[in-house]
Amino acid sequence: MKRPITTTINERTRDIVVAPNRTLLEVLRDELGLRGAVEGCGVGVCGSCTVLVDDRPVSSCLMLATNAEGRTITTIEGVSRDGELSPVQRAFLEQQAFQCGFCTPGMIMAVEGLIRENPNPDEAEIRDYLSGNLCRCGTYSAVIAAVQSVVVQARAETENSRPAAH
């Protein structure tokens, strides 16, 4: 039987009715028209369906939509504000950290999760955190460079905003 749930998607509270066997990915794509998250494998391995659930990256192909009740979901469509790219998106663009682009929304969401969790990851931490996001085009070096540039930029910003020592 379909069930009503209340969930926050990209900062908007939604009351939706979902079938119990529907995955979050299916609901996002088919019912809400959010088609940035894509299905590469359907079994939680490739990461192309990654979204943030309460700020943590989750494979939306494995999560039942009913479990979104009361949660906060962020998809690739929700990371840019008023047409302005997020720092992670900007870094992906600047480093050209994509080729075919099919893994890219999932990869970006995983990085969004990483920097929320650990704003200052070293390369080993980056590799480890992103090892669940597959890119067959082989763009890993550019992705690592993109994450590093986000980290460097964030660090520079904090340093600039720190009051100068007297």
Query: Which residues here bind other proteins, judged by CB under 8 A?
Result: 21, 34-43, 45-46, 48, 75-77, 80, 85, 89, 92-93, 96, 98-105, 108, 126-128, 130-144
Applying CB under 6 A, which residues contact ligand FES?
39-42, 44-49, 59, 61, 98-104, 135-137, 139
Which residue number, 17 or 93, has a Cβ lying nearer to other proteins?
93
Residue 122's binding partner out of ligand FES, other proteins, none, with CB under 5 to 8 Å set by partner kind = none
Residue 110's binding partner out of ligand FES, other proteins, none, with CB under 5 to 8 Å set by partner kind = none
To the nearest 10°, report the CA torsion of 121, 123, 127, 129. Answer: -10
Residue 59's binding partner out of ligand FES, other proteins, none, with CB under 5 to 8 Å set by partner kind = ligand FES
Per DSSP, helices labelled H in the chain are 24-26, 87-94, 104-117, 123-129, 140-161
Closest distance of CB 153 from other proteins, Å: 16
Specify the DSSP class assigned to residue 84: B
CA 103/CA 75 separation, integer angstroms = 14
Closest distance of CB 49 from other proteins, Å: 11
Burial label, 44 (beta-carbon count in 10 A; 0-12, 13-18, 19+): middle
CA 125/CA 127 separation, integer angstroms = 5
Residue 76's binding partner out of ligand FES, other proteins, none, with CB under 5 to 8 Å set by partner kind = other proteins
CB atoms within 10 A of CB 113: 22
Closest distance of CB 164 from other proteins, Å: 35
